[in-house]
A and B are shown apart, each in its own frame.
Chain A
Amino acid sequence: EDQVTQSPEALRLQEGESSSLNCSYTVSGLRGLFWYRQDPGKGPEFLFTLYSAGEEKEKERLKATLTKKESFLHITAPKPEDSATYLCAVQAPGGKLIFGQGTELSVKP
């Protein structure tokens, strides 16, 4: 069964304190792994797509990496505006996205 598990469920950081979010997955034929950011009361907003193990992508303070079993979202020197829920999803054959439960990140000044 295709499945995505994110950890931790919640993460509280001080401004400038770097950390990582984890996304473990099992899928029959990974076509792509997606990271989204979701702010309260809004829909998810696309961040990255990763296609194969070893791939990395960066955007400002965020860097996403991919292995054959998991992906990490590294946050370097976070700021309060990085506070949000981060969602991981895998694309199964047929195109549908399967989402994890998300990690709620809070960055305090």
Chain B
Amino acid sequence: DAGITQSPRHKVTETGTPVTLRCHQTENHRYMYWYRQDPGHGLRLIHYSYGVKDTDKGEVSDGYSVSRSKTEDFLLTLESATSSQTSVYFCAISESTSPNYGYTFGSGTRLTVV
């Protein structure tokens, strides 16, 4: 697929444990986004980044933190996983905030918190 990889693809973890999801891109795009997708809610923005070490919160950021130390990597961390964070997580990249540049999505990480 086009230059964006998410890892792991699937993960089962226990309540209260920390979890880190990774998004890696080879497109050198400035903007990176983390979304979660749940039935009945669609895709909701968790955090986004507009450059190395520049990040901001989305609409559902509670319980999540992010880091971007390199252009190509955007990490999403659940400090202490809860069952409500069971979801499918998607990373997206974009070259610009102009609507002429759409988002490219990764294949997703299915996270189950038991």
The interface of chain A, by Cβ under 8 A from chain B, is 31-32, 34, 36, 41-46, 49, 51, 87, 89, 91, 94-102
Contact = CB atoms under 8 A, between A and B. Distances in A.
Given A43-B105, A43-B106, A43-B108, A96 B45 contact: yes
B32 to A, nearest CB: 12
Contacts, number: 57
Given A42-B107, A43-B105, A43-B108, A101 B99 contact: no
B74 interface: no
Interface residues of B, number: 26
Contacts of B69: none
Nearest to B38: A101
A34 B99 CA distance: 9
B104 A99 contact: no
Interface of B: 31, 33, 35, 40-45, 48, 58, 90, 92, 94, 96-100, 102-108
A95 B103 CA distance: 10
A25 to B, nearest CB: 13
Given A89-B43, A95-B94, A101-B42, 6 more contacts: A31-B99, A36-B105, A43-B107, A43-B108, A96-B58, A99-B42
A101 B104 contact: no
Contacts of A91: 99
Contacts of B42: 87, 99-102
14 contacts: A34-B103, A36-B105, A43-B106, A46-B104, A49-B102, A51-B99, A87-B43, A95-B94, A95-B96, A95-B98, A96-B33, A97-B45, A99-B44, A102-B42
